[in-house]
Each structure stands twice: as C-alpha cells, then as structure tokens.
Structure 1
Amino acid sequence: MTDPAQAAAKAPGIIIQPDAARYFEAAASGVLMIKQCHACGQAHFYPRQACPFCSSQDTAWIESSGSGTVYTYTVLRKGHPGPSIPVFIALDEGPTLLARMVGAEPEDVRIGMRVKACFPPLGPNGAPLLAFAPDPNPDQTARQDAMRS
C-alpha cells in the first residue's frame, strides 16, 4: 500500500508548493488545514501567503473541524464511470470551497446538508484529495459547534 503523502508528492499534476506543504502533510493524515489571518481574523482557503481579505502576510495554519454545509452542488453523469457530485461547501470556520461529494447518491444530496471532510485516494497515484461525505451525526455536530461559539 502506498503512503498517501508519498503518493501526493509523486503524483503527476500535483506540484506541492512550499506554502502548501503543511496542508498536504495534514491531508495525508485525514486532517483539513486552513489559513487564518492574525491581522483581520478571517479564515481562508486555498492556502496562500497573503490574506485575501486584507493582504496581510501574518497568517497561520489552523486545524479545521472539517464540518460544513452544502452551499450548492450539481450532478455530472456524462464522461464519468458513475455520477460525480461537485459541491461548494461552506465550512463552519467561514471559507467556502469546491470539492467532491462522496458516500452519497445524487438524490440524497441537499443544499444545507451537513457534511464532514475526508481524504479518499482520488488523486493521481492514489493521492489523497479533499472530498466531503454526509455527516453521520449532523445534530451532534451542530450542538458541538454551538457550544464552541
């Protein structure tokens, strides 16, 4: 079995920039990392040196809960072995990002659906890529998130 971090590093088409190395290391362990700006406090994704909100370079990696809600989605049926479901996810920490929905049939996906990040080996050479799956405990996750606020 190939180590996911090594697969990502060797995968053609995946070039890991130094600024994003921490993201891919965490992804290999199933953890979603995002950046947060110390100057304005905004969390952002995709990883980059400067904050997209205030342009400060005073940013740091934070571990995301990986929880979010489906903002919107579509179903692609042509050119895939089965339906593919690209989704925009609004993370609980604020950023909205594009990923793939896994572990759900197209008819079960809904806007507002609670989801959790996962990193299945969908990339070249089995590299872990960010995807989202239905949250098995959406009520419990919502309660935990409310307690953190």
Structure 2
Amino acid sequence: MTNTVNISPSASGSPLAVFRDYLGKGQLAYQRDAATGEAVFYPRVIGPGSGNPDLTWRISTGLGTVYAVTVISPRGEPPYNVVLIDMDEGFRLMSRVEGLPAESVRIGMRVRARVHHPADGQPPHPVFDAEIA
C-alpha cells in the first residue's frame, strides 16, 4: 500500500512551477512515470529513459533515510551539512538536516521532510529533521 495520492498539476506552468506550488502549500511533490513505474525527481517534462510525457504527480509522505552526508565548515561560520536523502517513495534528493549539530548527522539516519520558507523571498525548499524513534 502506498502513502501517496495522485494529484493533478495546474493546466499551466512548468514542472518546476508545479513543484514549487506544492512546496508553497507545505507538500513535497514528485512525479511517477507510469511507463516504468519509477519515481521521477527532479520534476521533468518527460520520463528519463522512457521518454514518456505522461507523468503523474504524487505527494511524498516526507520520510526518508540519509544516503550520504558532507559537513562543510566555513572559516568563521558555523558548520552545516549537505545530505542526499533516499525518500521512501524511491527518489533521492539533496538537502540538509536541521535541528541538530551538523556533525551529528549520520548515514542511515531516518529523517522527515518539512518545507522551509526563506525570509528573503527565495522559493521554498525541502529540509529535513531527524526522526525521533
């Protein structure tokens, strides 16, 4: 059983615009290619490998696992992490894990997505928090 639901993209707008619209509503959306059954991320016009233009939108549960982590330590600034997250729906994305020291993020850690709305007016983007067992 899947925890995703099919959603309809707006009639106008690029896949990136649709993705950002859903982020604006607090939802992490991704696409599924019916021809291959594979999750598609980053949003695209056609399915990679299949060329299928009929991609459906779905909403992620927001749960995933840290696949890789790098800690960046800029001189004179606090360290931060850059992570690759394998989402439970079968796609991978790059982001960061917040709410704990950058050095505490570990491969295999379970995480939950949330949408960050930057105060400077930049588009919203997904970030992650560690799942508490």
TM-score for the superposition, normalised by structure 2: 0.81
Say whether the 8 Å CA contact 1:123–1:129 is kept in structure 2: no
Separation in 2 of the partners of 1:29 and 1:86? Answer: 24
For residue 77 of structure 1, report the CA deviation from its aligned partner: 1.0
Who is 2:85 aligned against? 89
Q: Is residue 37 of structure 1 aligned with residue 36 of structure 2?
A: no
Q: Structure 1's 66 and 53: CA in aligned 2 closer, same or farther, altered over 3 A?
A: farther
SS in 1 for 2:79: coil
- What's the Cα RMSD here? 1.9
Greater fraction of residues in strand: 2
Give the fraction of aligned pairs with identical amino acids, expressed as a percent. 34
Q: Which runs of 4+ in 1 moved over 3 A?
A: none
For residue 29 of structure 1, report the CA deviation from its aligned partner: 2.0
Deviations 1:57-86 (A, max 9, x none): 110110011110000001111157321110
Separation in 2 of the partners of 1:118 and 1:83? Answer: 21
Letter in 1 for 2:59: E
SS in 1 for 2:121: helix
Q: How does 1:1-149 map to 2 (within 5 A)?
A: 18-78=14-74, 81-122=77-118, 124-125=120-121, 127-137=123-133
Unaligned ranges ≥5, structure 2: 1-12
For residue 47 of structure 1, report the CA deviation from its aligned partner: 0.2
Unaligned ranges ≥5, structure 1: 1-16, 138-149
Separation in 1 of the partners of 2:57 and 2:49? Answer: 16
Aligned pairs, number? 121
Separation in 2 of the partners of 1:112 and 1:122? Answer: 28
